[in-house]
Structure 1
Amino acid sequence: MKFFKPFFIFSSLLILIVSCGKDEDQEAPDPFTFSETQLLQMHNGDQKVWHITEFYEDYEEGIKSDLEACLLDETYTFLSTEREVLVEHGQTSCYWTDPEVQFGGAVYTYYPESGDLFLDFSIAEGKGTSTSATLWILRLIELTPNRMVFANGVPENRQRAVVFEVN
């Protein structure tokens, strides 16, 4: 009996130490990083057409942007080769009732070593001698074959966000 008690205590301590050591050494994978294989969902290895279905001022609080309505009729084609996005602007304008020109668009940058993907997303219009343009840099935080979400802010407090979906 004397042998079992010290052996039991020693074994329990050893298991506890080994278990704790593994938890501290292993970091949880970042859920907001993506592999090249996962990115195929974005462009199908060639190109894929997406539409904006939601545009948020504050994603965490569910507050939509005033600009959402002017983006819902646009088409975004994500290309695999140039890492660019072709934009077909819709009829609804963002800044003027009848702009002479709508421009702006999107370009994405992928960092394979970290798995981060960022979207430079802009809205711009011109009328006469006036132009208005806004640019956001957003990080990919969700990717499925039919839905992508790009947002800025920290994971606990996402702010501006754009949601793309396939029709």
Structure 2
Amino acid sequence: MFNCSKDDEIETGFTTLDLQKIDGNSSKTWQVDSFYSNYNSNILSEFNDCYTDDTFTFYKDKNVAEANLGGINCFFDNPTDQAATLTYSINELEGRVFLNVSRGESFNNDFQSRLTILELEELTENRMLFASGDKGNYIQTLILTAIN
């Protein structure tokens, strides 16, 4: 015998209207506020400093954000080249959004990179929280704050 309760209701994801908060229905720039290796334990990632001076501009109808990297590097003190890409995919049926952040730097013949895939968990006009882990028990987490 099964009993249904409100706790058993299927959660609905983000709607198309919700997702307009990401790009402001045109373009919108976001600053990385913090990058956690364990959000629930309040442990910042070793890459927090090199991410928090970066901004990403999201554009309507594009699933790629324009990266503007700050002056703090992630892997080398003075890289000869550095790049970051931020793409996102939307599962409209389930209302889920996945973020793919890749960052790389080279110094002469050495190259290091990092790839992170997170799911959108919280979205307001001014804040986005992307995380891995169970809802409410986030591990790796990237928080962005709107700057325009």
Q: TM-score, normalised by structure 1?
A: 0.81
2:21 to 37, 41, 44: 41
Report the alpha carbon displacement of residue 22 of structure 1 after superposing the two structures with TM. 5.8
Give runs of aligned pairs for residues 86-105 of structure 1, distance below 5 A: 86-105=66-85
Is 1:27 the counterpart of 2:9 in the alignment? Answer: yes
Report the alpha carbon displacement of residue 113 of structure 1 after superposing the two structures with TM. 0.3
For structure 1, the 5+ residue unaligned runs are 1-19
Match of 1:68 in 2: 48
Aligned amino acid, residue 70 of structure 2:
G
Give runs of aligned pairs for residues 109-148 of structure 1, distance below 5 A: 109-148=89-128
CA RMSD, 1 decimal: 1.8
Counterpart-to-counterpart distance in 2, 1:90 and 1:105: 14
Counterpart-to-counterpart distance in 2, 1:21 and 1:110: 33
Aligned amino acid, residue 113 of structure 2:
A
Moved over 6 A (4+): none
Aligned amino acid, residue 114 of structure 1:
E
Aligned amino acid, residue 70 of structure 1:
C
Match of 1:80 in 2: 60
Counterpart-to-counterpart distance in 2, 1:78 and 1:161: 19
| Structure with a larger share of its residues in helix | 1
SS in 2 for 1:113: coil
Q: Which of the two has higher C-alpha Rg?
A: 1
Counterpart-to-counterpart distance in 1, 2:7 and 2:31: 42
Match of 1:13 in 2: none
Report the alpha carbon displacement of residue 28 of structure 1 after superposing the two structures with TM. 4.6
Counterpart-to-counterpart distance in 2, 1:27 and 1:149: 23
User: How has the CA–CA distance of structure 1 residues 25 and 76 changed in structure 2, closer, same or farther, with 3 Å as cutoff?
Assistant: closer
Kindly, what percent of the aligned residue pairs are identical? Answer: 27
User: How has the CA–CA distance of structure 1 residues 81 and 162 changed in structure 2, closer, same or farther, with 3 Å as cutoff?
Assistant: same
Report the alpha carbon displacement of residue 29 of structure 1 after superposing the two structures with TM. 2.2
Report the alpha carbon displacement of residue 21 of structure 1 after superposing the two structures with TM. 5.9
Counterpart-to-counterpart distance in 1, 2:55 and 2:120: 18
SS in 2 for 1:73: coil
Report the alpha carbon displacement of residue 74 of structure 1 after superposing the two structures with TM. 1.1
User: Relative CO higher for 1 or 2, CA cutoff 8 Å, sep ≥ 6?
Assistant: 2
For structure 2, the 5+ residue unaligned runs are none
